[in-house]
C-alpha cells in the first residue's frame, strides 16, 4: 500500500510539472506571469544581415515592453534560435519552438522562402507566425488556391507593390523610356520583382532592351555588364539581395556605366556599402519599408533610442523588427490572454496600428495595407525619400 501511495504521489508531481508548460507560466493556479514568444531568424549564413537586424529591433521592443511592466502583467520571454539562413533548418526550429518550447507565437524568419517553410508547422500546431519582411506575392499568407492561411501574417508589403512602384518611379520620376533587367535567376524574390516591374514599365510605354541573369553567390558580373554596356538604356533594374547587388553596382560603375540603378528592399544592408563602395552608390534608388529621412516624431524617436541602445544607425530591418515586437505584444494585450487562437484573432482584427514603418490595418488576406518609400543614395548614404501610398 505504501508503495502504491508513493507511486500516486510521483504521478501527481509529474502531472503538476506539466500544468505550467506552454506560453504563459503560472504559480499555483495564479494568473500567468510570463509569455514565451519564439524568434526564428537568420542569425548566421547568407542573409544573416537581415536576421540580425530584425532580431535587434525585436529585442529592443521587448525590452521596452518588459521595462514598462510587460503585457497585461506578463513578462515577455523570447526564445531565440538561429535557423542558419536555411529553409530546412527554419522548419526544424519552428517545430522545436512550437512543440517543445511552449511558445504562443513565432516571429520570423526574415526571407520569404525560409518563412514559407515554417507555414505547415504553424498550421499543424495552430500557432500564429508573423514575418516583418517576407515579401513574396504567393504562398505566404494564402495557399495555392487563394485560401487564407489562418495562422500566418506579415507586416510588410509584397513584391508586386515594390515592382510596380519602382517601374512607376523609373518612368515618372526619372523619365526613363528604356530599361535593362539584371536579376537573380535563382530567387523567387527577384523573379516576382522583375515580373511586376516589366509589366508596369511596358504598360507606361517603356521598353525592356535587355534581360540578363545571374545566380546567388556569383561574384563576377563583368560579362553581363560588358554585354549591356553597348546598348542604349536609361535605367537598370536590379532585383536581388545585397550580397550580389553590391558587386554588380561596383563592377558596373568600374566599367563606366553611369545609368541609375534601381532595386528593392533587398538592397537595405550596410553590406551593400561595404561591397560597392561609397563612390559607386550614387544614382541608386530602392523601395523600402522605412526611411531615416522621415520627419515623423515616432520615426525620429525610434532612431534616437536605437542609437542610444546599439550605437549605430538603424536600417529598415531594425525598424521592421521593432514594429513586429510591438505588434505581437499589442495583439496579446488585445486578446486578453496567451491563448494562440485568441492571439491569432487579435492579429487578424488589427486596425490602425501605428508603427515606425507606417500605420496599417490588417487586410482580410493577412497582408497589411500600408505605404512604401523610395530611397535615393548619395555616396552610399540615404539622401532622398519619396513616400508612395497604396492604391
Note whether 246 and 274 are within 8 A (CB).
yes
Note whether 276 and 247 are within 8 A (CB).
yes
Q: What is the tens place of the pLDDT at every residue in 99-110?
A: 999 999 999 999
Q: How far apart are CA 316 and CA 210, in angstroms?
A: 31
- Secondary structure (H, E, C), 290-349: CCCCCCCHHHHHHHHHHHHHHCCCCCHHHHHHHHHHHHHHHHHHHHCCCCHHHHHHHHHC
Q: What is the tens place of the pLDDT at every residue in 219-246?
A: 999 999 999 998 999 999 999 999 999 9
Q: What is the tens place of the pLDDT at every residue in 241-296?
A: 999 999 999 999 999 999 999 999 999 988 999 999 999 999 999 999 989 888 88
Q: How far apart are CA 170 and CA 183, in angstroms?
A: 17
Q: Could you tell me the three cell numbers for 83?
A: 535557423
Burial code (b: 16+ CB inside 10 Å, e: under 16) for 78-93 equals bbbbbbbbbbebbbbb
388: pLDDT confidence band, cut at 50, 70 and 90?
confident
Residue 193 burial (C-beta neighbours within 10 Å; 0-12, 13-18, 19+) = buried
Element containing residue 41 per DSSP (H, E): strand 34-41
25: pLDDT confidence band, cut at 50, 70 and 90?
low
Q: How far apart are CA 59 and CA 268, in angstroms?
A: 20
What are the chain's domains? 21-157+297-370 (3.40.50.2300), 159-288 (3.40.50.2300)
Nearest residue to 251 via CA among 265, 264, 238: 238
Q: How far apart are CA 317 and CA 290, in angstroms?
A: 9
pLDDT at 259: 98
Q: How far apart are CA 218 and CA 117, in angstroms?
A: 25
Q: In what order do the strands lie in the sheet with 353-355?
A: 353-355, 358-362, 368-369
Nearest residue to 343 via CA among 332, 354, 351, 353: 332
**Cα–Cα–Cα angle for 346, 347, 348, rounded to 5 degrees:** 90
Place of cell 520583382: 193
Query: Taking 80 as the threshold, does the pLDDT of residue 170 lie above it?
Result: yes
Note whether 295 and 268 are within 8 A (CB).
no
Amino acid at each position: 500500500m505504501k508503495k502504491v501511495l508513493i507511486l500516486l504521489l510521483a504521478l501527481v508531481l509529474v502531472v503538476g510539472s506539466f500544468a505550467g508548460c506552454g506560453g504563459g507560466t503560472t504559480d499555483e493556479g495564479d494568473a500567468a506571469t510570463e509569455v514565451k514568444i519564439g524568434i526564428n531568424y537568420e542569425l548566421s549564413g547568407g542573409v544573416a544581415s537581415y536576421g540580425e537586424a530584425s532580431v535587434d529591433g525585436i529585442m529592443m521592443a521587448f525590452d521596452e515592453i518588459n521595462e514598462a511592466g510587460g503585457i497585461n502583467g506578463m513578462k515577455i520571454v523570447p526564445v531565440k534560435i538561429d535557423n542558419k539562413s536555411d529553409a530546412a533548418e527554419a522548419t526544424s526550429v519552428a517545430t522545436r519552438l512550437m512543440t517543445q518550447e511552449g511558445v504562443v507565437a513565432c516571429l520570423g524568419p526574415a526571407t520569404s522562402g525560409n518563412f514559407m517553410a515554417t507555414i505547415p508547422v504553424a498550421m499543424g500546431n495552430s500557432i500564429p507566425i508573423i514575418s516583418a519582411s517576407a515579401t513574396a506575392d504567393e504562398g505566404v499568407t494564402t495557399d495555392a488556391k487563394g485560401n487564407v492561411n489562418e495562422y500566418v501574417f506579415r507586416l510588410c508589403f509584397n513584391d508586386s507593390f515594390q515592382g510596380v512602384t519602382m517601374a512607376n518611379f523609373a518612368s515618372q520620376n526619372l523619365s526613363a523610356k528604356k530599361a535593362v533587367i539584371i536579376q537573380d535567376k535563382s530567387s523567387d524574390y527577384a523573379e516576382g520583382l522583375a515580373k511586376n516591374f516589366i509589366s508596369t514599365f511596358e504598360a507606361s510605354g517603356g521598353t525592356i532592351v535587355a534581360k540578363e541573369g545571374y545566380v546567388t553567390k556569383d561574384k563576377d558580373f563583368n560579362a553581363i555588364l560588358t554585354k549591356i554596356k553597348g546598348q542604349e538604356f536609361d535605367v537598370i533594374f536590379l532585383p536581388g539581395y545585397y550580397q550580389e547587388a553590391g558587386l554588380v553596382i561596383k563592377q558596373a560603375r568600374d566599367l563606366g556605366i553611369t545609368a541609375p540603378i534601381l532595386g528593392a528592399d533587398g538592397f537595405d544592408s550596410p553590406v551593400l556599402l561595404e561591397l560597392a563602395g561609397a563612390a559607386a552608390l550614387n544614382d541608386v534608388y530602392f523601395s523600402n519599408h522605412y526611411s531615416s529621412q522621415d520627419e515623423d516624431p515616432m520615426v525620429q524617436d525610434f532612431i534616437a533610442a536605437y542609437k542610444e541602445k546599439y550605437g549605430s544607425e538603424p536600417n529598415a530591418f531594425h525598424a521592421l523588427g521593432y514594429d513586429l515586437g510591438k505588434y505581437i505584444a499589442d495583439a496579446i494585450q488585445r486578446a486578453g490572454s496567451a491563448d494562440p487562437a485568441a492571439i491569432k484573432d487579435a492579429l487578424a482584427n488589427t486596425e490602425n496600428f501605428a508603427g515606425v514603418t507606417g500605420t496599417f490595418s490588417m487586410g482580410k488576406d493577412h497582408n497589411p495595407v500600408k505605404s512604401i518609400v523610395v530611397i535615393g543614395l548619395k555616396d552610399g548614404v540615404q539622401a532622398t525619400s519619396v513616400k508612395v501610398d497604396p492604391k
